[in-house]
Amino acid sequence: MRKILLILLLLSAPLPAAEFRPYPEAAISIEQWQTYFDAVRLEFGETMQEEPEVNLVLFHDESTATYYAFTIPANPAHPAWVTRRVVEQDGEVAVEQTGYFAGDEAPFADLFDAFSDLSDELGEEFKNE
């Protein structure tokens, strides 16, 4: 009986939000990539946007202004993802970014840099508003 109650409590508890930095290093295993992708898809699946022209699947968490971009197999950086979130630092709005890869580092670095450029542009837009 105690086991059943414990299981019911665990199943009814709200799922924690996907961690912004779930791993200590950017280089991860394919299993870690899949585990995180599954967790984000489970939590934010209703926000999923497929972007085949850039070989990405996007999710977002409106409550924390967090955006997840996962590669699909046609992307040279696959398997990888980049997460960005809008934060306030010292009274100014900024964009934090992190990312992980289970494939080749060079294409991941290109992907990460492309998102960094977007984050910089977004940060400038916030400053100008």
Q: Is residue 15 part of a domain?
A: no
Q: Is residue 99 part of a domain?
A: yes
Q: How much is the average pLDDT of 98-106?
A: 97
Residues spanned by the domain of 65: 22-128
Please give the tally of structural domains in the chain.
Answer: 1
DSSP 41-71: HHHHGGG-EEETTTTEEEEEETTTTEEEEEE
Q: How far apart are CA 58 and CA 81, in angstroms?
A: 10
pTM of the full predicted structure? 0.81
pLDDT digits (tens, 9 = 90+) for 3-44: 333 333 333 333 345 789 999 999 999 999 999 999 999 999
Burial code (b: 16+ CB inside 10 Å, e: under 16) for 42-66 equals ebbeeeeeeeeeebbbebbbeeeeb
Q: Which distant-in-sequence residues (6+ apart) come within 8 Å of 1 by Cβ?
A: none
Q: Is residue 108 part of a domain?
A: yes
Are residues 100 and 69 in contact, defined by beta-carbon separation less than 8 angstroms? Answer: no
Q: Is residue 6 part of a domain?
A: no
Token pair of 20, please?
């912004």
Q: Which of 13-17, 21-25, 55-59, 91-95 has the lowest mean pLDDT?
A: 13-17
